[in-house]
Structure 1
């Protein structure tokens, strides 16, 4: 009798688990014709406006902000290809470092990187490398390899060809939607890109393990696939810098991080982070982006602007508040 009750209880739990997983799947994805998977936004209305008109205005404000570039960029569409046809991608900016907090905190700093990316012209695909804030993942490196992502500004298609070639090329990379379930650090970048164009694809990658060896393997794979497929890419390292330290400490620690990135030496950056125990969430994506950029011809990092959340909200009641650091910069 007890055994039968246990079996019934186990069956009930299994059934409820299945229903819960189905609910989560429906919450995250809309499936049309059982072929097209669309990831719905999870932080619209939280990190950025969930109304398209208000979102566009907030993006414009980020660009015009005193800590932003001061004006809106124009998408470069004037580059001539060797065959005489117009192309919209200079290819000068191989990678960028961009923060991923709410727009009210890091949006103007992020706008500095996006100003340069837009003026540079859009590639075929933006590779967006992110840390894992949720702790959910099936493996070390999780690729969203199917369908599209939705924001209030519309859908952005996944570069499925690039994604699947990367998965086939590297055994450390796998198709894993769970890691992207409630992860914000890719999603927040999309409206900045969508404001200027819909003619690009993305490849969202979550790095749950950020060891330098793993990031080097990832960078080798991405650079190799880009060359094999002749896909023009720009890589976005999605990261904030020091987290929840007094502003004076954040400034000092983040200056060391910026020096580490500017050295174009992955080991030097890693040494700084480990030596001073700096809470930079996306150090792995930054290391990988640096490495990919060098493999694709970049020779230096240009720091565009830096500020903290304390600078953004101008908290005059606390002379040394705990803040988060934000950096924008490009690899060229």
Structure 2
């Protein structure tokens, strides 16, 4: 495996358009709609192909569009789909590339968390991982050029993930984005019931109630909810659906939800 300073797109042309013009044309109508006026501190958004989940993700991302120029750093966390490991993986790449351009990795942030429990340097967790990559065009469309802190979460405890988030919490300049789909491959009726329970647990900040069967990014979600309790955040569900309602068959669906967290 060859690691370069700039992490190249792995799923452009598969999960989302590889052409910048087509990519902008797909996202712009979804983002330019009315949204909440409160300022979010954190988002949970799905990471499937845009044809299935972009509209759900946009329900959260359009809440931050008016904060362009105010948010300068985004901490991105999502699950590992290709590599099994313990901890929270940081890359050696100094930038991530998309069809819309390049986003630089906040090196000072990586230095700040390097000695925290669970943090490991592991490029293999990033090279083919789509869960963070599909969020980058949304960030570029809404916030422009921001620094990113890309973290792939393996087998990590809520306290380990929450500890990293707490160290990187910052102020109004920092946004946290958790990338996660919900239940996988159940019939529509069962998935809707499961995902509704997961949404209620997220709104209760009940990090112990969400496991791998409920959300592929359950460990990243748990870390955010663990910290959200300590920092007294409020969670709100903005959109909840599944692939059976966005173009896929209803016999075997993947759930998608969009959530915002506000500081009290």
Tell me, yes or no, whether TM beats 0.5.
yes
Larger proportion of helix: 1
231 and 262 in structure 1: CA distance in 2 versus 1, 3 angstrom threshold: closer
Structure 2 residue aligned with 1:152: 99
Work out whether 1:94 is the aligned partner of 2:41: yes
Computed over aligned residues only, the root mean square deviation of the Cα atoms, in angstroms, reads 2.3
What SS does the corresponding residue of 2:18 show, helix, strand or coil?
A: coil
Q: Tell me whether 1:188 sits opposite 2:134 in the alignment.
A: yes
Give the number of the structure whose alpha-carbon radius of gyration is greater. Answer: 1
Q: 1:307 aligns with which of 218, 241, 244?
A: 241
Q: Contact between 1:253 and 1:278, CA under 8 Å: does it hold in 2? A: no
Q: Contact conserved, 1:215 with 1:284, CA < 8 A, in 2? A: yes
- 1:260 Cα shift? 0.6
Distance in 2 (alpha carbons) for counterparts of 1:283 and 1:124: 26
Instruction: Report the Cα distance in structure 1 between the residues aligned to 2:258 and 2:92, rounded to whole angstroms.
Output: 27
Question: Shift in Å at residue 72 of structure 1?
Answer: 7.1
1:237 Cα deviation after fit: 1.1
Residue deviations 1:125-164 (CA, integer Å, cap 9, x gap): 1111110100255x42101254100000000010110111
Q: 1:295 to 1:203 in 2, by over 3 A?
A: farther
CA distance in 1, matches of 2:75, 2:92: 12
Map 1:1-332 → 2, pairs under 5 A: 21=1, 24-25=2-3, 29=4, 37-63=5-31, 71=33, 92-121=39-68, 122-135=70-83, 137=85, 139-168=86-115, 170-210=116-156, 214-227=157-170, 232-267=173-208, 269-270=209-210, 273=211, 278-298=213-233, 300-313=234-247, 315=249, 320-332=250-262
Higher mean C-alpha deviation, range 153-162 or range 287-296: 287-296
The C-alpha deviation readout for 1:292-313, integer Å capped at 9, x for no partner, is: 3444452x11100111111011
Q: How far apart in 1 are the matches of 2:168 and 2:242?
A: 36
- Offset of residue 172 of structure 1: 1.2
Aligned to 1:85: none
3-state SS, counterpart of residue 185 of structure 1: helix
Paired with 2:34 and 2:27, the residues of 1 have a C-alpha distance of 9
**Counterpart-to-counterpart distance in 2, 1:260 and 1:197:** 29
Specify every segment of 5 or more residues in structure 2 that has no aligned partner in the other structure, as ranges. Answer: none
Give the structure, 1 or 2, with the largest relative contact order (CA under 8 Å, sep 6 or more).
Answer: 2
Instruction: Please report the TM-score for the alignment, with normalisation by the length of structure 2.
Output: 0.90
Structure 1: segments with no counterpart, 5+ residues: 1-20, 30-36, 65-70, 77-89
3-state DSSP of counterpart to 1:261: helix
**C-alpha spacing 1:192/1:117, structure 2 compared with 1 (3 Å):** same
User: Could you say which residue in structure 2 is the equivalent of 1:81?
Assistant: none
Distance in 2, matches of 1:190 and 1:251, equals 28
Q: Structure 1 length as normaliser, TM-score?
A: 0.72
Question: Is contact 2:46-2:57 (8 Å) kept?
Answer: yes
- Residues matched between the structures, number: 261
1: CA distance between counterparts of 2:78 and 2:99? 21
